[in-house]
Structure 1
């Protein structure tokens, strides 16, 4: 074969290979650039909010450790707002989860818990998308990636507990013991395995599957607590469920500042816009659930009360009206 022809073929082959390699490197650079843009514009601002939701909602001493003016709902609002304004950067899974959650803007949640399920799955879809981005770039180091996996696992466990106990407060109670899980064991591999097992588990046998999967990551000295505080709920222990419901209804929720303010604001609206004193919607024998709120506002001088024919009538005072208009309606 002609030497010149052979040299030409080698040169052409080299040029083609060089062009292919160069194209692949260009595509890879563009892909890396786009992923960094997605992370910076959408996911980076959201991550800390998703972490905060877990840290606040599931804090075992929430009333003591968390500042009074801090509420997890504000963080949920931040997440939703950021996604709404940056949907062009969202993965198909995040868009789908966002659309499912958005339906509750016009649908009533008659189950009382499915909106929360979709909200947790929305958070999971975001964390899954973040993990896919950062695990294929150099945006994060291994410590930060492990932190994402840690919270992915917590959200996953949380949503599947909720799907099975059917009450948000029961699921929160079970998840408030998340510190019993060995943090270093909640890895990406554990997440994928757990998700796969939970997805195919028959609900009738879910508690058995849950214990089989989760038990190995419970701290050595905390197995008994896991059985008494988590597994008893999944096994539908009526006595424990009633005890938890009573606690959250009476002692925990009613002393929340936001709920106190909303209660007073409702009494205000009855007086100002309906021209009537507030007739409590439940009979007096059941009003002990709200007793702490009413007592709080009476001691402040913002409410007065009177019982009549088995009902409690609440009168908002001039000071109460002034407080609502000055502090709550601004």
Structure 2
């Protein structure tokens, strides 16, 4: 029996090596497929639309929009183009695309629901884009940071629009330059995602974050700011 032991060991090692090689090959093939899929999503869904999604926020809320903005992003046109490729997205994007479009067919008793859900759609588009960009090699770090920063600003806009008339929420966001990069960096994105996804205005954490933002605005000497006063009064009156 002993004379067979070396042969058995050799066969076992060969078998383990073959299995290991098979697993490694499967892992590498799977990784290549995932990278190929991400690359396709980037080329077909992220690259064509990401600049305009970023620009829509920065042009729509520009403090000197009437003077400095020479060209605006047509949100309806942008959404029509995105809709042709929405199959590259995920269920979150599809859900909010539907939520925004359905108010073209049904009465909106609350008002501004379409606009709020479009903001949510753009928020989640940037979230999806960030996840794709994170996995790209080489990663463009500055673009990735800009996507995360603008996503957070969209999120704040959603929360403010839940408290104010939509037009007034735009006026409020024109003062976003008061929110430092450090303040935005410290906003927990997981927390913000939860609040954006929660359509329940009485959420205590939503009010806490809005009060944090109000405090930052009040620290700056910006003179008369009626929209800020309106937001404060609305929160005190309703929460």
Specify whether residues 24 and 122 from structure 1 end up closer, same or farther in structure 2 by C-alpha distance, changes over 3 A only.
Answer: same
Specify whether residues 235 and 39 from structure 1 end up closer, same or farther in structure 2 by C-alpha distance, changes over 3 A only.
Answer: same
Contact 1:164 1:203 in 2 (8 A): no
Name the counterpart of 1:242.
none
SS at match of 2:48: helix
Question: What are the superposed Cα offsets for residues 64-110 of structure 1, whole Å, 9 maximum, x if unpaired?
Answer: 1112xx334x1x12321222211221111111111111212211333
Give the whole-Å Cα distance in 1 for the aligned partners of 2:172 and 2:150: 16
What is the Cα-based RMSD across aligned positions, in Å?
A: 2.8
Contact 1:39 1:133 in 2 (8 A): yes
Give the whole-Å Cα distance in 2 for the aligned partners of 1:31 and 1:189: 31
Of the three residues 227, 230, 233, the one matched with 1:233 is 230
SS at match of 1:186: helix
Specify whether residues 15 and 225 from structure 1 end up closer, same or farther in structure 2 by C-alpha distance, changes over 3 A only.
Answer: farther
Give the whole-Å Cα distance in 1 for the aligned partners of 2:226 and 2:135: 38
Give the whole-Å Cα distance in 2 for the aligned partners of 1:81 and 1:202: 30
Whether 1:153 and 2:152 are equivalent positions in the alignment is: yes
TM-score with structure 2 setting the length: 0.84
Q: How far off is 1:196 after superposition?
A: 3.8
Name the counterpart of 1:24.
27
Specify whether residues 227 and 207 from structure 1 end up closer, same or farther in structure 2 by C-alpha distance, changes over 3 A only.
Answer: farther
SS at match of 2:233: coil
Name the counterpart of 2:125.
126
Contact 2:103 2:113 in 1 (8 A): no
TM-score with structure 1 setting the length: 0.62
Question: What are the superposed Cα offsets for residues 13-52 of structure 1, whole Å, 9 maximum, x if unpaired?
Answer: 0110111011111101110110111011011111111111
Give the whole-Å Cα distance in 2 for the aligned partners of 1:145 and 1:164: 30
**Structure 1: segments with no counterpart, 5+ residues:** 238-330
Of the three residues 65, 69, 75, the one matched with 2:68 is 65
Give the total of aligned pairs. 229
Name the counterpart of 2:202.
203
Contact 2:162 2:201 in 1 (8 A): no
SS at match of 2:67: helix
Give the whole-Å Cα distance in 1 for the aligned partners of 2:181 and 2:135: 23
Specify whether residues 36 and 26 from structure 1 end up closer, same or farther in structure 2 by C-alpha distance, changes over 3 A only.
Answer: same
Contact 1:197 1:209 in 2 (8 A): no
Q: Which has the larger radius of gyration?
A: 1
**Structure 2: segments with no counterpart, 5+ residues:** 235-239
